[in-house]
Amino acid sequence: MAFEHILFDLDGTLTDSYEGIAKCVQYALHYYGIEENNEENLKRFIGPPLWESFHIFYDFPEEKAKEAVLKYRERYHTVGVYENKVIAGVPETLKTLYDNDKKIYLATSKPLKLAKIVLEHFDLAKYFTFICGASLDFSFEDKASIINYVLENQHIENRSSAIMIGDRKFDIIGAKQCGIKSVGVLCGFGSEDELKEYKADYIVPEFPDILSIIMK
């Protein structure tokens, strides 16, 4: 069947945000006397809620981990958010979906305010029916909660008509928890092994390849 409601992750799916996120993580860690230059360690911050990454990877207690996010935001809100670039084929693919009357939504664990800045900066916001992002107070950032909010807010009762597009396991897990199909894209930060392990319904090498799934 053709899918009518298309939900997208942001970081690693629509944009390559590694530079901005990595530099801001380094900025925050430096505040605590930690110098981190390993690219793979920095990439781990892309996908899950930031405070969880500080907590899990650097053993920060929850309060300190959330404080580290505030330090991260000092740089990200003014500089890091713009250290970003659109992934190849994204504007053209979104336009194709839009022109074919597909409903396009954003479901990201990035704070809503920042997600809107990114989409508007790259002239992508015009394609989206609804944009959903995390709250700044850490109370709303779990990917399944965000996906479910989009589905309920937009009154998408037939969940078989919806599909989630993302690059990490968090997108796949969230989609499964909400009862919708998922596509893992390999143009982002997740590996094919990761997407297979968490049983993405489809896996595509390049972003425009999602059209072969959505439009059939």
Catalytic residues: 9
Burial 21-58 (b: 16+ CB within 10 A, else e): bbbbbbbbbeeeeeebeeeeebbebbbbbbbbbbbebb
What are the sequence ranges of the domains in the chain?
A: 5-15+86-214, 18-82
State what percent of residues in the chain have pLDDT above 70.
100
Statement: 5-15+86-214 belongs to CATH 3.30.70.100: no
Instruction: Say what the pLDDT of residue 103 is.
Output: 98
Q: Are strands 85-86 and 162-166 parallel, antiparallel or unpaired?
A: unpaired
Report yes or no: 129 and 105 within 8 Å, Cβ to Cβ: yes
As given in the structure block, the two tokens for residue 73 are 């935001």
* Beta partners for residue 86, in sequence order: 15
Tens digits of per-residue pLDDT, 182-205? 999 999 999 999 999 999 999 999
State what percent of residues in the chain have pLDDT above 90.
95
Phi then psi dihedrals of residue 99, to 5 deg: -65, -20
Mean pLDDT of 22-45: 97
Residue 1 pLDDT > 80 = no
Give the other-Cβ count within 10 Å of 67's Cβ.
17
Give the other-Cβ count within 10 Å of 71's Cβ.
18
Residue 82 pLDDT > 70 = yes
In order of 7, 53, 103, 189, 198, the CA distances from 50 in angstroms are 21, 5, 29, 15, 21
In order of 30, 31, 38, 108, the CA distances from 34 in angstroms are 5, 7, 12, 28
- Correct CATH for 18-82 of 3.40.630.30, 1.10.150.240, 1.10.10.10, 2.30.30.240: 1.10.150.240
pTM equals 0.95
